[in-house]
Amino acid sequence: MTGWVRKRFWTEVSVAEAEGGFAILLDGRGVKTPAKSPLVVPTIAFAEIIAEEWRAQAEAINPASMPATRASNAAIDKVRGQMDEVAGLISDYGDSDQVCYRADAPDTLVAKEAEAWDPITDWAAHRYGLRPILCAGVVHKPQPALLLESLRADVAQLTAFELTCFHDLVANSGSLLIALAVIDRFDTPEALWTASRVDEDWQIAQWGTDEEAEALTAERKCAFLNAARFYFALQPGS
């Protein structure tokens, strides 16, 4: 027995100004979220990304091919109603950020981590006026309270749509500092994704990988790069 598949029912996709931003229209009718709220986004650039997803659908709708639509639904239906909680959960990554926990051996891994992560902690020290504390091993070492407050303040000022994208940057990289470096345009999203993968790539170089692990990594990379693209499309003037 096959599952129910939703069929494409529209011919034309367009974008129109609406209260609070820009709406995506299917044959002139506004798209709604799963919770039946109007799907209205802050910028025309982001609205056009969503519209292209709907234009690209074939006879059967494939939600997996619509990451911008899914992000918008999450922002409107979920994140918007619990901004403080979501921002707090994301900010908690700052006290155990992966770029601050370094290997003490072998020398090749130590060097690769330093090459990839020292520029990020240098950037953080310059931006926040406090240098993150680095340590070897996995035993937790608290970061300076003032630094954590500054990190939380940056996260707290994000809009619901930005916070949704930012969550995906943090979740897929495992690093609050890398995610903040992305939205600060410290380096390209591609370069910062590569920096987040230092330990995993070193392990692969030693022991190899398998198709399942490669597929998961490719999925995470796509989600990370999409989150960066959507975040920048949400900026005023985009």
Query: Does one domain contain both 93 and 200?
Result: yes
Dihedral (Cα; 5, 8, 9, 11), 10-degree rounding? 180
Q: Give me the domain span that covers residue 91.
A: 81-233
What does the block give as tokens for 5? 């598949």
Instruction: Name the pTM for this structure.
Output: 0.95
Domain closes at, from 41, 59, 77: 77
Over its length of 238 residues, how does the chain's per-residue pLDDT go in tens digits?
345 458 899 999 999 999 999 999 999 999 999 999 999 999 999 999 999 999 999 999 999 999 999 999 999 999 999 999 999 999 999 999 999 999 999 999 999 999 999 999 999 999 999 999 999 988 999 999 999 999 999 999 999 999 999 999 999 999 999 999 999 999 999 999 999 999 999 999 999 888 898 999 999 999 999 999 999 999 998 7
Query: Does one domain contain both 89 and 199?
Result: yes
Work out how many domains the chain is built from and give that number. Answer: 2
Domain closes at, from 51, 77, 103: 77
Contact by Cβ (8 Å): 97, 132? yes
Place of tokens 């003032």: 146
